[in-house]
Structure 1
């Protein structure tokens, strides 16, 4: 009797990408998500981003998501780190940082309620998904003063 010891390949974990966008003052652009029962982290402040399409890298996904969600083309997009959304979608989320100086209220928001820049010291009082808060804190801790 022949025993096949090869393991079936596990499907790739679902992936996503988000961007921490800062303006020249160091304020961070946050996105108030819709209050809908069928979305993860409804009615929470988050950063822009979303899931990767099949065959799409996180770097490709974040450029697409920024454009789709807010018509935004951020400068200096840099990959930072990955964090799993343990209590929401379960996805592995790649965090990026970038810069953009403009009027966030003039962006054509396609998803969510609003976009707003916040000074880092005011972010603690916002309702933010834990993995996003972790990513923002890691970003802020590594940022030059």
Structure 2
């Protein structure tokens, strides 16, 4: 009798982030807390987070934007996936959205602050490599 000894592999963790731009073309970034138990502490990142069990990335990004910043963005569009090889190990789905509000008035529940930045100022910020790659990929695909 043959016995199956292969174990099911655990599902790869998934996450979702949003590249949110305003009408001036600036990008909304989130300064993460400086805590040792989180991925990419004290880095500027995009709003988003991990998918709950059974949750798809599109539902996760809507939930995360609301939970983290009370934000509802218009024209939420799925872009691509990138794996965070050097941090959480998650496969992260990137979305784009447009929002033209005042980021200083958002009720931030996680992290230190939210701030819009012009693309030409991103080089001086400490951003996780996979997030920087996603932002650069998105900016390269935009019409001039």
TM-score range, shorter chain: over 0.9
Structure 2 residue runs without a partner (length 5+): none
Q: If the length of structure 1 is used for normalisation, what is the TM-score?
A: 0.96
Q: Tell me how large the CA RMSD over aligned residues is.
A: 1.1
1:4-43 Cα deviation digits (max 9, x unpaired): 4584332210000000000011000000000111111000
Question: Whole-Å Cα distance in 1 between the matches of residues 139 and 4 of structure 2?
Answer: 47
Residues 6 and 79 (structure 1), Cα distance of their counterparts in 2 relative to 1, 3 Å cut: farther
Question: Whole-Å Cα distance in 1 between the matches of residues 60 and 142 of structure 2?
Answer: 24
2:44 maps to which residue?
45
Structure 1 residue runs without a partner (length 5+): none
Q: If the length of structure 2 is used for normalisation, what is the TM-score?
A: 0.97
Question: Whole-Å Cα distance in 2 between the matches of residues 4 and 142 of structure 1?
Answer: 51
SS of aligned partner of 2:116: strand
Aligned pairs for 1:30-41 (under 5 A) are: 30-41=29-40
Aligned pairs for 1:57-76 (under 5 A) are: 57-76=56-75
2:80 maps to which residue?
81
| Count of aligned residue pairs for this structure pair | 144
SS of aligned partner of 1:8: coil
